């Protein structure tokens, strides 16, 4: 018979709840703006949850989905056109910022500003 520590390790390795929970949260956050838009335009949380579970994007229960929605302020009473516009604007800025940072690294823009050049033997008096 195995002792308690060995059984706990086996149980921990077989239990995937924490990774599923995090995965559901990440999917929810990625789809947050779309979920908010759907709720704002009259779709029920139940129908959204059913769609996402049928598409196998979410594996959480309906109660957990409601908890996520309420925790992130996505309820019919809390959503206003201003909040929805702000959420979609932040979402689009975040996605465009990611693409812009990649293109800025790849292009060499010279707008009259001097580029920084590292000098390992810099004179302290010159820098002050």
Domain boundaries, the chain: 16-92
- H helical segments located in the chain: 4-14, 17-30, 32-40, 45-54, 62-71, 81-106, 124-127
Indicate whether this model's pTM tops 0.85.
Answer: no
Q: How far apart are CA 64 and CA 81, in angstroms?
A: 26
Tens digits of per-residue pLDDT, 68-121? Answer: 999 998 888 888 888 888 877 877 777 766 555 544 544 444 455 667 777 778
State residue 6's pLDDT score: 81
């Amino acid at each position: 018979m195995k002792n308690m520590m060995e059984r706990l390790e086996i149980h921990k390795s077989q239990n995937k709840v924490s990774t599923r929970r995090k995965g559901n949260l990440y999917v929810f956050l990625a789809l947050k703006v779309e979920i908010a838009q759907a709720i704002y335009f009259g779709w029920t949380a139940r129908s959204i949850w059913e769609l996402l579970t049928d598409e196998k994007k979410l594996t959480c229960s309906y109660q957990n989905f409601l908890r996520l929605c309420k925790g992130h302020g996505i309820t019919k009473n809390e959503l206003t056109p201003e909040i929805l516009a702000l959420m979609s604007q932040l979402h689009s800025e975040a996605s465009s910022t990611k693409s812009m940072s990649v293109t800025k690294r790849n292009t060499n823009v010279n707008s009259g500003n001097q580029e920084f050049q590292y000098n390992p033997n810099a004179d302290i008096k010159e820098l002050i």
